[in-house]
Chain A
Amino acid sequence: DTGVSQDPRHKITKRGQNVTFRCDPISEHNRLYWYRQTLGQGPEFLTYFQNEAQLEKSRLLSDRFSAERPKGSFSTLEIQRTEQGDSAMYLCASSFSMETQYFGPGTRLLVL
């Protein structure tokens, strides 16, 4: 499978715990994006990387959220001290240069 992959696909955690999600982009795609989607809404932009550089962060990305792409390949998104409001689908997308973004299957997070 040469598409965007995400792991885990589902995560249930208790409020206050930390969680980390991983995204592997399409090979040779230099741009990687994170979005969050809640029920009945479209995806909302969180942050994006060009290679290993994080170029933009949304105001939605509070101090509890951190994202990395250390070698310009896979990326991780960590949420510290999770809250019930963090429950959502976390989507990763990748693109080559400024071309079309292709989405991975998403990680569904439920915070109890």
Chain B
Amino acid sequence: QKEVEQNSGPLSVPEGAIASLNCTYSDRGSQSFFWYRQYSGKSPELIMSIYSNGDKEDGRFTAQLNKASQYVSLLIRDSQPSDSATYLCAVKGTNFGNEKLTFGTGTRLTIIP
């Protein structure tokens, strides 16, 4: 079982619709969760971070965390063509001093005009 799993896609969503991206993780003690956006040929760019169960909203983006189910999701409302990218889910280790991020393989999102 991979430590962080994402559906690789591609996920196609009409412009203006809601895009829903999902991620599961295996380490039950993980505390910090991140969504990064990566355009082709570019480096990852932070979209959202979430640390507590529930929802966290930032503009058109909402991150959802359910630690009991070991599940993190990202919702993008009013999807725009500029949202077309690969979205990476990342989880930070549980132990103090374990600073590394473990990434999923990413979900490729395409917004259809």
On whether the beta carbons of B46 and A102 are closer than 8 Å, the reply is yes
Question: Interface extent on B, as a size class?
Answer: 20 to 34
**Complex partner residue of B43 from A42, A50, A56, A106, CB under 8 angstroms:** A106
Q: Among the listed stretches B56-64, B74-82, B100-108, which one makes contact with chain A, having 4 or more residues with CB under 8 Å of it?
A: B100-108
Q: Which residues of B contact A40 (CB under 8 A)?
A: 8, 105
On whether the beta carbons of B100 and A33 are closer than 8 Å, the reply is yes
User: Which partner residue on chain B sits nearest A50 by CB separation?
Assistant: B99
On whether the beta carbons of A56 and B100 are closer than 8 Å, the reply is yes
On whether the beta carbons of A43 and B98 are closer than 8 Å, the reply is no
Tell me whether A48 and B42 are in contact in the complex, defined as CB-CB below 8 angstroms, given that A40-B105, A42-B88, A100-B49 are known contacts.
no
On whether the beta carbons of A103 and B44 are closer than 8 Å, the reply is yes
On whether the beta carbons of A48 and B100 are closer than 8 Å, the reply is yes
Residue interface mask B45-76, A partner, CB < 8 A = 1: 11001000000000000000000000000000
On whether the beta carbons of A43 and B99 are closer than 8 Å, the reply is no
Nearest Cβ on chain B to A50's Cβ, whole angstroms: 8
**Complex partner residue of A100 from B46, B88, B97, CB under 8 angstroms:** B46
Q: Which residues of B contact A44 (CB under 8 A)?
A: 103
What separation, in Å, do the CA atoms of A68 and B17 have in the docked complex? 47
Q: Which of B1-30 contact A (CB under 8 A)?
A: 4, 8
On whether the beta carbons of B100 and A105 are closer than 8 Å, the reply is no
How many residues of chain A get a CB closer than 8 Å to chain B's CBs? 26
**Complex partner residue of A91 from B4, B43, B46, B99, CB under 8 angstroms:** B43
On whether the beta carbons of A103 and B45 are closer than 8 Å, the reply is yes
On whether the beta carbons of A48 and B45 are closer than 8 Å, the reply is no
**Does A101 touch B at the CB level, under 8 Å?**
yes
Tell me whether A42 and B105 are in contact in the complex, defined as CB-CB below 8 angstroms, given that A100-B49, A103-B43 are known contacts.
yes
**Complex partner residue of B99 from A56, A89, A103, A104, CB under 8 angstroms:** A56
Tell me whether A45 and B101 are in contact in the complex, defined as CB-CB below 8 angstroms, given that A100-B34, A100-B49 are known contacts.
yes
Tell me whether A105 and B97 are in contact in the complex, defined as CB-CB below 8 angstroms, given that A42-B105, A44-B103, A100-B49 are known contacts.
no
User: Which residues of B pack against A, CB within 8 Å?
Assistant: 4, 8, 34, 36, 42-46, 49, 88, 90, 97-106
